[in-house]
Copies of this chain bind each other. A is one copy, B any other.
């Protein structure tokens, strides 16, 4: 057997890191639920044909799956159904690379049994075969919410997406996160208004603004056929940013008119207004935001973390009017996705967050000798009955060794059966050294110790 080595791009966490991840997942899920988004999951695989249909250059990054046994008996069977050996046309399967494309397929497949407008959240792993680098993985977890409706989708959902995410970031022990919002109709209408009809090409160049700087953007635009004046106008638009609706006035000052531009300005103003009422300062209008994927048609979101802007966006999404369609019915939608693995990559690399212990156990029940293990097991059963996570010591070693077992894992309390003067039990807080009489059926764990605390680094309570 080959030596065991990590696989680049497939991160694995230690238990103490996983406790941080679980805290993030719990905050995300409970916030999604507070906002009335039920959960669904989709299967990990989709027909490759469907994965290739959308998502820009995602085709370069797809992992195909094939049955090893099917292969040896000639050709590939992606697992499409019959378990047989031959490769069947259209049945080749690949791992999903995001949750939006599978969600669109889910809506079409199950439309008859869903109620619209359909809200859902979805938290799952996705896979991309791209080159691993800082904050980019081959296996990673996405946390999405979307709302889709039949035929038409009310615009108020576009503000809601960003507000749910703002609430999540406010609840996590992280630096301040800003949600940057734009509406694709603004650049589209603006470019058409100044006579530039290659909207996608122009957007692609403007999207490089943060990377290459304003002068190079103007150069690239001129190289692609724009006049210097048109290029300057595009740049001026991209540089508009405001935390209130004043961006509308600043766009108007550029003197460009187009009905699509007006639509976009009104839509973005509505999102920013709803946002500043509900979560002041969390959202800004930022007219350079474009998003790479080609399925967005209106509002688009990106985020930036204060002090870590170079890490890029941890959360993005937008409105898509044509992603889910069966030819007769179209289901327009809007959604936003938190890149949890990217976020945790930053958190662990920079040491931003820590867990107070490596296990859910709040109490270690010591074992006096192996003959009396049953008494310790009975204490543990009582504690669990009151909701206190605990474990029984693995061996009846010296008490000093049992206490070190707890210390190494950050378990705050050790329970000693029959250690009191009257033969009753005692519990020791191993952080303070305090040891007091206790009765298993009556002992109440301080709320702060019941679960591992996950806090900004340097702020962990108790341990010292």
Contacts and interface: CB of A to CB of B under 8 A. Distances in A.
Contact of A409 (B66, B81, B115): B115
A381 B160 CA distance: 12
A22 interface: yes
13 contacts: A2-B47, A9-B81, A12-B110, A15-B120, A18-B39, A35-B389, A37-B359, A44-B127, A45-B139, A62-B69, A63-B67, A81-B132, A274-B377
A394 B149 contact: yes
A269 to B, nearest CB: 14
Interface in A93-140: 93-95, 105-106, 108-110, 113-115, 117, 119-120, 125, 127, 129-132, 138-139
A81 to B, nearest CB: 4
Interface string A1-25: 1101111111111110011001000
A61 B79 CA distance: 11
Interface in A261-285: 274, 277-278
Contacts of A154: 394-395
Given A65-B95, A115-B408, A377-B274, A49 B1 contact: yes
A426 to B, nearest CB: 20
A19 to B, nearest CB: 7
A221 interface: no
Nearest to A2: B90
Given A18-B41, A115-B358, A125-B44, A81 B8 contact: yes
A241 interface: no
A68 B59 contact: yes
Given A15-B38, A157-B394, 13 more contacts: A1-B49, A2-B49, A12-B43, A12-B106, A18-B38, A18-B41, A19-B38, A34-B388, A44-B127, A63-B67, A64-B65, A79-B129, A115-B409
A83 B139 contact: no
A431 interface: no
A43 B139 contact: yes
Interface residues of A, number: 105
Copies of this chain, complex-wide, total 2
Contacts of A113: 14
A211 interface: no
Contacts of A390: 34-36
Interface in A379-401: 381, 384, 387-391, 394-395
A149 B405 CA distance: 13
B117 A394 contact: yes
B10 A39 contact: no
A328 interface: no
Interface string A48-83: 111001000001111111111111000001011111
